Amino acid sequence: MLYDQALMNGLSLKEDGWKYDAYRQFALKLADKEYLFPCIPATIGFKRGQFRYGFASDPRTDEAAAELAGLLGSFGEESRSFGKYTSLILFFETPQELIQRCSVEEYREIFWRLLVKARELDDRGWPEHIPGDPYDPLWEYCFGQEQYFVYCATPAHRLRQSRHFPYFIMAITPRWVLVEFNASSEAAAQIKHKIRERITGYDAVGIHPDLNSYGNEDNFEWKQYFLGDDSVPSASRCPFSGFRSNKT
């Protein structure tokens, strides 16, 4: 089920265990007034209560992929009624043995497996106006005929604190939210500049070279979904290369 902020605030440690703790940690990260989270629109969305939340199983499981698909489908159907700063925040149950042993690269594999498996469960096909080739600068993740930017944070990220979280987590933002954000190019440019300033103070490594803007000829959206804990451009091949997107 999708949770709004009121439902999340009603969670308790006794009854909800890890779910309560995951949201508590998330709220602390987004609302911290000294160690400012870099993504300014995200802090606004959280403060205004426009986020929607969901919980999923161990991210290594097929059950988690099915839960991701179900939650994303429900979110996409209603997202335009949640506010112009909305995103879907998904917390995955992350066992201690996974936290202690899993590397950043292993989490990367888990992340992409989830996105691929969820896409396989989408019965609405791929949007006709979005290229099926992830090496096209206009490609991005789609589900239920909606376009999304996907952010992932993990317990293994240490240097890049903007991508660190005690649980495996995804934040999924509709393209229409980003289009509205960029509607005023001057205001958007100022905010992006402030975001980059915040990143330099938040992370122990520099701004990642894969960060770019949607539509730029040298941009690949998928490279920005899961950033490494370093400043090295991604050399990995997109798991969606050759994926049958149901485009004819």
Residue 42, in any domain of the structure: yes
Average pLDDT rounded to a whole number, residues 127-146? 95
Q: Is the pLDDT of residue 225 over 70?
A: yes
Residue 236, in any domain of the structure: no
> What pLDDT score was predicted for residue 239?
86
Domain of 40 in residue numbering reads as 5-225
Which of 123, 143, 115 minimizes the C-alpha distance to 59?
Answer: 115
Q: How far apart are the first and last CA of the chain?
A: 33
Average pLDDT rounded to a whole number, residues 164-189? 95
Q: Which 3 state secondary structure label does DSSP give 88?
A: strand
Confidence of residue 247 (pLDDT cuts 50, 70, 90): very low
Q: Are 220 and 101 in contact (CB under 8 A)?
A: no
Q: Is the pLDDT of residue 236 over 90?
A: no
Q: What is the tally of structural domains in the chain?
A: 1
More confident residue, 161 or 242: 161
More confident residue, 235 or 139: 139
Residue 247, in any domain of the structure: no
Share of the chain above pLDDT 90, in %: 90
Residue 246, in any domain of the structure: no
Q: Degrees (nearest 5) of the Cα angle 114, 168, 79?
A: 70
Contacts of residue 197, defined as CB under 8 A and 6 or more positions apart, other chains included, come to: none
Residue 240, in any domain of the structure: no
pTM of the full structure: 0.95
Pair of tokens at residue 91: 């917390």
Residue 220, in any domain of the structure: yes
> How are beta strands 146-153 and 52-56 bridged, if at all?
unpaired
Q: Is the pLDDT of residue 248 over 50?
A: no
Confidence of residue 243 (pLDDT cuts 50, 70, 90): low
Q: Is the pLDDT of residue 72 over 90?
A: yes
Share of the chain above pLDDT 70, in %: 97
Residue 239, in any domain of the structure: no
> What pLDDT score was predicted for residue 245?
52
Angstrom distance (rounded) from CA 234 to CA 240:
15
Residue 148, in any domain of the structure: yes
Average pLDDT rounded to a whole number, residues 34-46? 97
Average pLDDT rounded to a whole number, residues 34-41? 97
Average pLDDT rounded to a whole number, residues 106-118? 97
The dihedrals phi and psi of 104, each to the nearest 5 degrees, come to -60, -45
Confidence of residue 47 (pLDDT cuts 50, 70, 90): very high
